[in-house]
Amino acid sequence: MSDEAEVLFERRGAAGFITLNRPKALNALTLDMVRAIHPKLIEWADDAHVQCVVVEAAGDKAFCAGGDIRALYDWGRAGDPTALDFWREEYKLNTYIKRYRKPYVALMDGINMGGGVGISVHGSHRVATEKLTFAMPETGIGLFPDVGGTYFLPRCPGETGMYLGLTGTRLKAADAIYAGIADAYVPSVRLDTLKDRLAGGTEPRVALREVVEEEGPAPLASMQKEIGAHFSKGSVAEILSSLRADGGEWATKTADTIETKSPTSTLVAFRQIREGAALDFEDCMRLEYRLIERFVKGHDFYEGVRAVVIDKDQAPKWKPATLAEMRASDVDEYFAPLGANELTLP
């Protein structure tokens, strides 16, 4: 086991640098990383020498491929409250980043999913490179698109957020910018120049103008008519019915994809995204904590992780197995207030 720190901190000139440092694990976010990053951000917020914060990652494959799902699986299976500690502290960190009073520049150079999204997309300046692969794939492991997905997904153009949340579709840089998940495209070979400018005290908007390039057309933009026609429906069942009635190749594949996901996760994600459109960020995070409390006590998260991460048979046995077996009350229970256990935000 390596003794190297999972996250590195450095103040370089006018910038504070956070480097996720688990490249062999695709920089998956651990509880220890959350507990290191949050106080450092607080420290730098009060440090007059730090004009901006830059978050990046070691290695050339991933910014952050998600939370440390295996640890969460083990804690949850054992009834260890550390699982909920992780999500509680992660959501507080996501909220702090959203509120951060200094420029927060996320360099999304590689895979960025789940937990990685929570420490990047809520920053003030989100940079995508040609290596970016963005996704919110949680419904495929029996969860829901969290880490602020309740807030940013319904604010994507049209019904893009619902499409991404239900399907887990992967996006490259142009689509991420179109969806409002990234702000600028910078080729990875120009990131060092950007970092040097930020360390030298150049304001992020000015520094980005020096290195930004055109990202090219966004395939998602050309799909808005089809996405809107199907994903504006009033329920998951209606979305699937619309896609099946369409009969085209894309519609059929999209319906097939949704039907591989956890029915519970799919119905919760649908309601979560619809409700999130009318909530502020803090209320979105409180809602997500209510949901995660219920998922940790359920079946599908553990079955999804077993199928995708542990046994890797890609054949989860969801309970209930189909949407038809779900009752409205099954979903209502996930959204019920937690009373004294609600997520508290300062």
- List, by residue number, the catalytic residues: 67, 115, 138, 146
Residue in 135, 136, 84, 111 with CA at minimum distance from that of residue 20: 111
C-beta of residue 28 within 8 angstroms of C-beta of residue 66: yes
SS3 of residue 290 by DSSP: helix
AA letter at 311: D
Q: Which amino acid is at 84?
A: L
Going by the DSSP 8-state scheme, the letter that residue 10 receives in this structure is E
> CA-CA distance, 58 to 21, in Å (whole number)?
5
Report the helix count and the strand count for the chain, using DSSP H and E: 17, 9
Q: Which two tokens stand for residue 69?
A: 């799902």
The H or E element that residue 134 is part of is strand 133-135
Q: If DSSP codes are grouped into helix, strand and coil, which group holds residue 127?
A: strand
Contact 72, 82 (CB under 8 A): no
- Rounded Cα distance between 176 and 129, Å, is 10
Q: Between vectors from CA 342 to CA 339 and to CA 346, what angle results, nearest 5°?
A: 130
- Please give the Cα distance from 116 to 66 (Å, whole number): 5
C-alpha 15/C-alpha 258 separation (Å) is 43
Q: Where do we find the tokens 């998600």?
A: 66
The structure tokens 């006590």 sit at 297
DSSP string of 171-214? B-HHHHHHTTS-SEE--GGGHHHHHHHHHTT--HHHHHHHH-B-
Quote the CA–CA distance of 186 and 175 in Å, as a whole number: 14
